[in-house]
Structure 1
Amino acid sequence: MKHLENTVVDFTERATEQEMKGIKKYGKALDPLDDYDWLTMAAEEQVDGYKYLLAEMKKREYVVEGIREIIDLHEKDMDPFYVGKAHDLLNQLNGSHNKGR
């Protein structure tokens, strides 16, 4: 339940922030009866959101591989337990924890 509670709080805060940004930009709160094509606007926002997701996935992949390179360069000086643990955490971070290394 704690995760749900945190999600609701985060969503509420972000929705409020977005509304305030809209008021600052347009001088008023969102009005469903304004002359906008809300479905098209929502579709455009979803496309942007998807691009942001792909960009973050690429960035994480880059960071994970960079950390792996550092580990590989210094692996001989590291405790094997921590090398394995580091790779496990990196696998979790990039969503490949079931794929192995």
Structure 2
Amino acid sequence: MIDTSTFVYFDPPYRPLTATANFTAYSCDGFGDAEQIELARFIDEMTELGAWVVASNSDPKNIDEHNDFFDRIYSRYKITRINAPRAINSLGSSRGCVRELLIARL
């Protein structure tokens, strides 16, 4: 039963920021923008039942400051941009912090 005592954290495959950062295949069907939108709708359904929900994802504004994809589909939620350290990259100079999103019910 989903109610006000329910807490759920969603950590879906992150939306790729670049053409080479395209791992979205936790399943054979992939996880593209259509699935990101479907997840946002599912989160809407859960919060309407009273659940407390937090989701994380990449911040497309790292690459394009005008990319409002997540700001649009999660407009009813609080979106916090956090710095997340990255220690793995084939180029040592590309390691460091990147912004990610934490999306939470208001």
TM-score range, shorter chain: under 0.3
Larger Rg: 1
- What is the TM-score of this pair, normalised by structure 2? 0.24
Between Structure 1 and Structure 2, the one with more helix by share is 1
Which one has a larger percent strand, Structure 1 or Structure 2? 2
**Greater relative contact order (CA < 8 Å, ≥ 6 in sequence):** 2
